[in-house]
Amino acid sequence: MILSMTGYAALTREFSGESMSVEVKSVNGRFLDLQFRLPEELRAVEPALRELIAARVSRGKVECRIAIAASAGSAPMLQLNSTLLHQLAALEKKVREVLPNSQALRVGEVLNWPGILEDDAEAGTVRKKAAALELTAAALQEFSAARAREGDKLKAMLLERVVRMETLLMEIQPRLPEAIAAYQEKLAARLREALGNSDDERVRQEIALYGVKVDVAEELNRLSAHLTEVRRVLNKGGPSGKRLDFLMQELNREANTLGSKMVSKELSDASVEFKLSIEQIREQVQNIE
């Protein structure tokens, strides 16, 4: 399928009393440019996120943003630091041996002791990393589906332009001999007027030279071949933006040459329409991966 370089997807999930949201969006670009906006605790998963995205995207500027927030009404899961608690108990015992009348530690004092409570941060970070990778993978599926839908629209529009240009070629070809012959007669009349009726050989030479200069058979054949290749690339699918951009350059080159050789206003107008269609395709091709 044809994929657009423009896409967007966002997902949010609740886990362990927190809310994690992942947003993936992209715009067109010549190369693959990945940018991340991650919480500090998820920096370690950036290489894995890069692999996930690079497996699905070959070109474009892609931004991946992950945010974590506490869910409403949630509270951190706390647990006692057992090592520190036993150390405090041992120290209190020694103090009371020396100062037997000293007051014993109260529960509130122990719970407020720096470091006595911990929220299982290390295990929580591991869970968050796994959740970030899982949620990003799910977001990328929606992201790819959005790019595919946009790509289908681009393909339909481009094929429509290709059909129009092929129709123009078919309209131009049968009219060329008559247009050239009419113009040659006008040119011959002007040459005879300028050179005199006696120099018919010179007139014939000039007409023959002019016929060579306005011969557009080669340009028409190349235009037709390029349009066939555009159709083939679109139907084949896959990363094709660079190939299509090159074909647009070739089509434009042949169209310019064709326009310079046209011998009537009607044919010149057809050539202008041809170049307009090429420009419309070229603009949209910039959005194809």
Tell me how many domains the chain contains.
Answer: 3
Residues 203 and 214 grouped into a single domain: yes
Per-residue HEC secondary structure of 12-43 comes to EEEECCEEEEEEEEEECCCCEEEEEECCHHHH
Sheet order of strands, 18-27 included = 7-15, 18-27, 60-70, 32-37
Q: Is there a domain that residue 11 lies in?
A: yes
Q: What is the pLDDT of residue 139?
A: 96
Tell me, yes or no, whether 20 lies in a domain: yes
Mean pLDDT along residues 90-99 = 86
Q: Model's pTM, two decimal places?
A: 0.69
For the stretch 210-267, pLDDT in tens is 555 556 777 788 889 999 999 999 999 888 999 999 999 999 988 888 777 666 677 7
Query: For residue 147, what pLDDT is reported?
Result: 95
How much of the chain, in percent, has pLDDT values that exceed 90? 44
- Residue 17 sits in the same domain as residue 142: yes
pLDDT over 80 at 106, yes or no = yes
In a domain, 2, yes or no: no
Residue range 7-40, pLDDT digits in tens: 999 999 987 678 899 999 999 998 999 999 999 8
Neighbours of 107 (CB within 10 A): 7
Lowest-confidence segment of 18-22, 74-78, 156-160, 171-175 by average pLDDT: 74-78
pLDDT higher than threshold 70 for residue 182? no
Residue 26 near residue 3 (C-beta atoms within 8 A): no
Q: Does 267 map to a domain?
A: yes
Looking at the structure, tell me whether residues 15 and 144 fall in a common domain: yes
Report the chain's mean pLDDT, rounded to a whole number. 83
- Residue 220 near residue 177 (C-beta atoms within 8 A): no
Structural domain harbouring 134 = 7-74+126-148
Q: In terms of domains, do 193 and 228 share one?
A: yes
